[in-house]
Structure 1
């Protein structure tokens, strides 16, 4: 059976990440407080931001921007959106 975590995005007990998604203490914090579902949603959103805004991940400012957007996304605050992106209909 999978481990669960109280997800900070959904405020529910959901499936936990199997390992820290980032190195160091930040990765451990995310593993303890973010569900697999929320992390996968963040990864999709992050990919759209990288592609739409042509971010260079070698640029420290781009990485800092993504970390800020990640925190906002996981805390259910407004985030930047990829212009022209239309989410699929459920």
Structure 2
């Protein structure tokens, strides 16, 4: 059974995550206030940042950077995007 949360990114009631994405207060906060859609989008952004910036996720500095960018993304603040990324064009005729 799905659960609904008021998503802080989209400011709307949306389907929530099935469980906290990681332990601790921050994971619980995301579970309580972030939709599945917003979390999925963050994971995509995070992957692009890791690849573009060649981040080692075991490096504490890289983890702090990703945590900061995650918080900014989920709070609709400016965050660092992967440089040179151009989203695919959507063909209106499809």
TM-score, normalised on structure 1?
A: 0.96
- Written as runs of structure 1 = structure 2, the 5 A alignment for 1:49-88 is 49-88=49-88
Runs of at least 5 residues in structure 1 that lack an aligned partner in the other structure: none
Structure 1 CA distance, aligned partners of 2:4 and 2:69?
24
SS in 2 for 1:22: coil
- For these two proteins, the number of residue pairs brought into alignment is 90
Alignment RMSD (CA, Å): 0.9
Shift in Å, 1:24: 1.1
Structure 1 CA distance, aligned partners of 2:58 and 2:3?
34
Structure 2 CA distance, aligned partners of 1:71 and 1:88?
25
Shift in Å, 1:89: 2.6
State the match for 1:44 in structure 2: 44
- The structure number with the bigger radius of gyration is 2
- Written as runs of structure 1 = structure 2, the 5 A alignment for 1:26-41 is 26-41=26-41
TM-score, normalised on structure 2?
A: 0.92
- Of 77-86 and 63-72, the range deviating more from structure 2: 77-86
